[in-house]
Structure 1
């Protein structure tokens, strides 16, 4: 439809330069009428697209079926229609809702779909260009990683994945967490730095656990 609209505009420009005046006006009027109808239809579909996106952004309190179906619809819309409606952009509130859903949903499949949506959108909408925000995400993820609940460790993994979308994550790791690993590939360096940080935190956690374990053994 959009291509037809563009073709009509091109045709009118061509007619103005190459057609006799008697035929020209009649054809131009018809082309203009078609273009107006097409533009109206395009705007209608754009509004429907925008409305459907808003409808599919739900809270973690929604039922499992609604969360799953909403995320599936949003992914299909992204894959099939995003190029057609580039002017319909995500806003910070919408992306934050998807991020919260990724954090709080108890099903890994839904977390994965939410993350796939997040990584296809401008990371600055989640303030991932803000060093303190990225640092907070990483620190919370590390704390969750120490949890005995499997879903918490899965959430931690996705939080770290989100942090890696940040354009300043490498700087955050060096400035706030004291990681100074040098690597030619920035992405690989970031992964390695996160692994080293997690190993360091894990050693501390295991050390504390073993300390309490031996104290309990002595007392019994």
Structure 2
């Protein structure tokens, strides 16, 4: 570990958890000013479907699958009426394809029949859709409608929030609650997106690059190392 980093860590004034969270947010905005949702879509229904497919799958893989999927079935009505076996074939490479195809079909049928073909705009209604939990609902509301009602917690956000000492919980819902108390509501979703970028680029699961991390002096994980 570089002596410079250790010196900064040991000499820096102790900050409260909220102060550290806000400083991390400022730096993430500076590091990733153009960070945005990595999924490709042209409608909110397509955003919902792509987000369902992204569970335990990379956005890169999802973006390879969705062009043909959306060419064949561009909206809720067509997706809901598609042959399940065809949906399974189209999304197979994203993993857990049978369950994902079933949920996509069922969710789109509900959207078509109960919501007039439009993806609902509230957390309560979104959670009624098959295959939709808070993570998916937060993504859809934030990027589809510009509504921040929570913090999206994926594997990157969970890992980095724990390493940065912002939560001690394992459960995504409890992690989300902790982060919501530390961050301004307007930044809830861009926090997640930028933290995901940082997790991919620097704070990797198996080999975090602490020596080049711009958050190192704010990170309890580095001190433990």
Q: Same fold (TM over 0.5)?
A: no
- TM tier relative to shorter chain: under 0.3
TM-score for the superposition, normalised by structure 2 = 0.26
TM-score for the superposition, normalised by structure 1 = 0.26
Report 1 or 2 for greater relative contact order, CA contacts < 8 Å, sequence distance ≥ 6: 2
